[in-house]
Structure 1
Amino acid sequence: MSPNPTHVVVAGAGPTGLALACGLAAAGVRVRVVDRADGPARTSRANILHARGVQVLTRLDALGDLREQAVAPMGIRMHVRGRLLTTLTFAPDEREAVQALFVSQAAIEQRLRDRLAELGVEVEWGHGVGELAQDTDGVAVGLSGGDRVRAAWLVGCDGAHSRVRTLAGIAFPGVPVVERFLLADVHADGIADREHSAGWYHRDGILMAMPMRDPAGNLWRLMANVPDDGRHLDAPAVVRRFEELLPERAGITGARVRDAVWTSVFRIHRRLADDYRSGRVLLAGDAAHIHSPFGGQGLNTGIGDAENLAWKLALVVRGLAADGLLDTYAAERRPAAADVLRRTTTNTRALVAEGAVARWVRDHVLVRYLDLPAVQRQATRAASQLGLSYRRGPLGGRGAKPRPGDRVRDRPVVRPDGTRSTLTGELGPAWVLLSGGTAPEPLVAVLDRRLPGSTTPVTDPAWQHPHALLVRPDGHLLWRGTHAADLERGLDRVARAVADRPGRARLIQGLRNRIRMTNGTFVG
């Protein structure tokens, strides 16, 4: 056996897999990242990193120059029959220190690969998972090309058609939301001004056009739903269809599509894995959940999975927690994904509006509702995922706010040496002990013993509160209090979380009872 055996194999080098690998490697976990593709994607599937995603990349030290690459948030001008109905604006939450970035997914992946390389890990391209066998001690993974690797854990971040999920025998039930959707990034002239995105409602569907950053200044992302007539549409056919849709749905007759950078034809599904874990195999990102692309939630939900799983898997690998801690991953992240699926499905069906009644409600009621500033602020906040809480999960709790499981808002802090920083900047892979004054020595002693080398004590002089806060690497509160014995009990919740198999079975069944699908509709 190798003197440095692999702790974790991550299958898939998209944003989720890369973020997970960065979090693990930064925590000292030996990780390999494999991907069946020949190399990284050069086109941008997603083009927004919401505020929570910005915080995740900051904690991973992977944000790099993405702020400089980002474009300013744009409103969306919605039309019907050539008439402007409303302008939907992006309304950042001024209470927060971080806001969304409109930036290419390809650029995000590049920054994550750069960070991973700094941590000594390179992506192994052309190595997809072909087979796996697991036992009580680990997983044997067969890779394409005949290579085999033994690891303690395997995480499938390999997308909607996950091979890992299939081999692990995890069901992926769901329903279609839109039968056929077209997407194309094209260089084009004469579509609209580039100060805003634009959308056009039509009885046959919706057409949207979003300006994208490009040296030539004429790159657009076009999206539309069309009937599925069974015909295969290659890239030239997709471009021709958009050339037809621009006059049909938008009344634009002078547009000229020069060339296509990327096209895609797909069916929008809503699917949620029955479980996020099968023994020593786990799922994250699109391998665990898929939904409508409206709202740009997929990338952000995936890297949220990655960050949640990374710190828990690192503790298990280091022997600081039982593997039952990994059951809290599904307990916290699966409800979060279900909520995203519900919202994106509702929003997509409202926008597509199949049927005369639905179209009338959309054009005469919904657009007026969406024009309200309070509604736009609420929608932006929901999309940001900054309000996500795990307080109802197995590591959550009650009491004064923030409660265990709540996200702790970013704030300026002071390190023990007197230098200034921020809470987000000190997290990941480190935990943070936050207090209003000098960190209590008994609490620091407990953390040094229970989480050796993993905790940073910081202070916020402006925060006058008697309690100290122990903040998890993902920015959520684990414990608050003043006494070392109480802190020991709080850490015991992590070290022994859901460690028994009967307890895990009850937990998963409880989740399925809360989040299930009946006739294609989530109920709870």
Structure 2
Amino acid sequence: MTRNIEVLVVGAGPTGLTLALELARRGVPYLVTEKSAGPAIGSRGKGLQPRSLEVLDDLGVIDEILANGETGLPLRLHQGHTLSVELATAAGTGARPGVPYPDLVLLPEWRVEKVLRDRLAELGGEVLYGAGLASFQQDADGVTAVLENGETVHARYLVGCDGGHSTVRRQLGATMDGRTHDDQYFLVGDVTIDGLRDDAAYAWFGDDGGYLAVSPLPNADGAWQYQANVVPGPDGSVPDPTLDIFRELFAARSGRTDVTLTEATWLSRYRFNARMVEHYRHGRVFLAGDAAHVHSPAGGQGMNTGIQDAYNLGWKLAAVLDGAPGALLDSYDAERIPVAAEVLAGSSRGFESVFALRGARRFLRDHLIFPLVKRPAIMSRLLAKTNQLAIAYPDSPLTVTEDSRHGSPRAGDRAPDARGITADGAPVRLFDITRGTHWTVLGFGAETAGLLRELQATHGAYVRACLVVDSGPADFPTMLAGPEAGRLFRAHPGTLVLIRPDGYLALRATSARTVDDYLARTLSPAAAPATA
């Protein structure tokens, strides 16, 4: 017997679960399969960047994420056994215009997965555990996959979200180009630590190149994430990750004999990789997350980049399955590959700067980088470089270029949030209006009300029109009144702004016809080729 669905999602980590949620809330029949017998238990990634928090807001889980996570945990950085500086990891100013979630949220990856699974269950979905992918074949009509439990699945599309050792990638024959750092391995795990204050994370950098870091994990029954580097021996051997080895390295590198490590729920070993595939799309098969790109942990980008891969791909798959041109899916490659390349380059630079064992890089780290990060302004800039709010798609086939005299945000940029009130005087955010599966068209100034009504009448099935005015009331069903949106978008009266379902600007215009033509060209079933 063959199960027939639209999309087969292989892998139930944050990437696969995000994709499943995107499909579920659009009513797309899908199946999520996972090789493991049950949910993951290790922390692995542990930080959600501001842009990912906006994605999770749109998916309806932000309250649960914030309730379970923690922001502002400082880092106590030691050189040798001596405390060098306590670094702030948050701006400390709270939400600001355009940015409702300015700070990294610390939350172990297994908890992120649980929040996403719970939301998926609310939408009637589930994960099929113990059913990894055994093989697949694709043709012009779809993909036929055989699972390790013996089940056969026929899907229109298959998405490999199955991690760095991806079966999907391997069977595609897609290689990951880049670099593996062979000079050192890292031991990582979740352990219980007694005797260390849990109001901060800690890192020690030794004179011999040794590194150790521990971080308390919120809502994790007292578990801490532990990381330490080890250099291969003369015979190339590397110690296995055991609790005894963790204890030995902690005592030697921290100098703390008053701290005890007890229970370990997860232990692992890995090398830092910075690699990615050349293409994310292979016919009807796609790669996302670690299946497409693997990073060093510097900057906390891996889990976040995977979540945003899935967020980018999900609405496009749903649109094509609803009749949009199949070429829409080509924009996934065009948009996300440059992002991964930039993230890989940045995380590699960060790794080489922070974890250099010797030579000029080590000297610069100890005598330039560490002194500089003690300055709050420098640390603030470093945090801004990793928050992923500046990710943009200016060269995407879905981006309509515009007059360069426009200020930011331009087409291809992330749409900022904006605060205001409704016609009834109730507080509202632009993210409240854009939240969901629809496109949003903003009309700035009362003179755009007629244009918005035209667009709503033609594209109301998948477009929400919103009138933006400096002050209300105004006669329009969805309205955002207040000066903040106009200021943040640098929009003159008469401007129309079209926002994609994933929160990026598609175009700015002054004519409803321009917006209408764009939507017809991008989503119209009439434009879809026969092979879509």
Residue of structure 2 aligned with 1:472, choices 500, 522, 530: 500
Distance 2:181 2:460 in 1: 45
- DSSP-derived class of the 1:374 partner: helix
Picking from 252, 269, 272, the partner of 2:273 is 269
Corresponding residue for 2:397?
A: 394
2:441 corresponds to: 433
Aligned to 1:42: 41
Q: Which moves more between the two structures, 337-346 or 447-456?
A: 447-456
CA contact (8 A) 2:331 2:398 kept: yes
Alignment of structure 1 residues 85-100 onto 2, 5 Å? 85-92=84-91, 95=96, 96-99=99-102, 100=104
Q: Aligned in 2, Cα 1:389/1:258: closer, same or farther, shift over 3 Å?
A: same
Q: Secondary structure at the match of 1:305?
A: helix
Determine if the alignment matches structure 1 residue 455 to structure 2 residue 477: no
Q: Which range moved further: 176-185 or 488-497?
A: 488-497
CA contact (8 A) 2:209 2:356 kept: no
TM-score (norm 2): 0.86
Distance in 1 between residues matched to 2:463 and 2:122, nearest whole Å: 19
Map 1:344-383; keep pairs closer than 5 Å. 344-383=347-386
Q: Residue deviations 1:35-59, cap 9 Å, x none?
A: 1111111332222111111111110
Q: 2:318 aligns with which of 308, 314, 317?
A: 314
Alpha-carbon distance in structure 1 between the residues aligned to 2:465 and 2:150: 44
Which shows bigger deviation, 346-355 or 246-255? 246-255
- Any idea what the Cα deviations from partners look like across 1:255-306, whole Å, max 9, x if unmatched? 2211212111111111111100000001111111101123221111111011
* Residue aligning to 1:184: 189
How many corresponding residue pairs?
Answer: 494
Assess, with a 3 A threshold, how the Cα gap between structure 1 residues 171 and 414 changes in structure 2: closer, same or farther: farther
Offset at residue 220 of structure 1 (A): 2.3
* Structure 2 CA distance for aligned equivalents of residues 371 and 348 of structure 1: 19
Greater shift, 224-233 or 102-111, is seen at 224-233
Q: Deviations over 1:363-400 (max 9, x none)?
A: 11111222222221122122211111111322232331
User: CA offsets, 1:52-95, max 9 Å, x none?
Assistant: 11111110112342212122321212111222222222133753
Find the counterpart in structure 1 of residue 419 from structure 2: 412
**AA aligned opposite 1:434:** L
Q: Which residue number corresponds to residue 52 of structure 2? A: 53
> C-alpha separation between the residues in 2 aligned to 1:488 and 1:207?
56
Does the 8 Å contact 1:437/1:460 carry over to 2? no
* Match runs of 1:137-286 below 5 Å: 137-177=141-181, 179-190=184-195, 192-202=196-206, 203-213=208-218, 217=222, 219-229=223-233, 230-231=236-237, 233-235=239-241, 238-286=242-290
Matches of 2:142 and 2:83 in 1, distance apart?
A: 59
1:292 partner SS? coil
Question: Which 5+ residue runs of structure 2 have no aligned equivalent?
Answer: 467-477, 487-491
Aligned twin of 1:26: 25
Equivalent-residue separation in structure 2 for 1:403 and 1:216 (angstroms): 45
Taking only the aligned residue pairs, the percentage that are identical comes to 37
Distance 1:391 1:448, change over 3 A: farther
Match of 2:387 among 357, 372, 384: 384
Amino acid at match of 1:459: M
Change (3 A) 1:215 1:170: closer
Q: Distance in 1 between matches of 2:363 and 2:384?
A: 27
- Which residue in the other structure is 2:326 paired with? 323
Note the alpha carbon deviations across 1:105-145, whole angstroms, 9 max, x for none.
22211121122122222111111111111111111111112
The one-letter code of the counterpart of 2:90 is A
What SS does the corresponding residue of 2:163 show, helix, strand or coil? Answer: coil
| 1:212, distance to aligned residue in structure 2 (A) | 2.1
Amino acid at match of 1:204: G
Contact conserved, 1:75 with 1:89, CA < 8 A, in 2? yes
Which residue of structure 1 lines up, in the alignment, with residue 109 of structure 2? 105
**Displacement over 6 Å in runs of 4+:** 415-418
Give, in angstroms, the shift of residue 414 of structure 1: 5.5
CA distance in 2, matches of 1:35, 1:81: 43
Cα distance change of structure 1 residues 496 and 359 upon mapping to structure 2, 3 Å threshold: farther
AA in 1 matched with 2:53: V
Specify the alignment match of 2:64 in structure 1: 65
2:495 matches 1:487 = no
Query: For 1:278 and 1:215, how far apart are their aligned partners in 2?
Result: 39
Q: For 1:257 and 1:300, how far apart are their aligned partners in 2?
A: 30
Pair 258,417 (structure 1): closer, same or farther in 2 beyond 3 Å: same
CA–CA distance in 1 between the matches of 2:159 and 2:396? 22
**What is the Cα deviation at residue 437 of structure 1?**
4.5
Which deviates further from its counterpart, 222-231 or 358-367?
222-231
Q: Write the distance in 2 (CA, Å) between the matches of 1:263 and 1:125.
A: 22
Matched residues in 2 for 1:164 and 1:456: separation? 40
Query: Aligned equivalents of 1:49 and 1:259: distance in 2?
Result: 26
- Deviation of 1:417 (Å): 8.1
CA distance in 2, matches of 1:161, 1:54: 27
Matching residue of 2:346: 343
> Quick check: 1:160–1:289 contact (8 Å CA) kept in 2?
yes
- Aligned equivalents of 2:363, 2:135: Cα separation in 1: 51
Could you say if the C-alpha distance between residues 228 and 450 of structure 1 is closer, same or farther in structure 2, counting changes exceeding 3 Å? farther
Give the match for residue 446 of structure 1: 455
Which one-letter code corresponds to 1:307 in the other structure?
Y
Say if 1:326 and 1:65 are closer, same or farther in 2 by CA, change over 3 A.
same
The structure-2 alpha-carbon separation of the partners of 1:461 and 1:215, relative to structure 1 and needing over 3 Å to count, comes to: closer
Q: What CA distance in whole angstroms lies between the structure 2 residues aligned with 1:145 and 1:493?
A: 42
Deviations 1:12-51 (A, max 9, x none): 1111111111111212211111111111113322221111
Q: Is the 8 A contact 2:74 2:89 kept in 1?
A: yes
Q: Partner amino acid for 1:172?
A: M
Cα drift, residue 5 of structure 1: 4.4
Distance 1:403 1:72 in 2: 30
Deviation at 1:215, TM superposition (A): 7.1
- The offset of 1:492, in angstroms, is 4.9
Letter in 2 for 1:423: L
Aligned to 1:135: 139
User: Mean alpha-carbon deviation: is it higher for 195-204 or for 434-443?
Assistant: 434-443
SS at the partner of 2:307?
helix
SS of match in other structure, 2:441 = strand
Q: So what's the TM-score if we normalise by structure 1? A: 0.88
Pick closer, same or farther for the CA change 1:269–1:413 going to 2, 3 Å: same
**Preserved CA contact (<8 Å) 2:443 2:465:** no
Name the CA distance, whole Å, in 2 between partners of 1:159 and 1:40.
Answer: 14
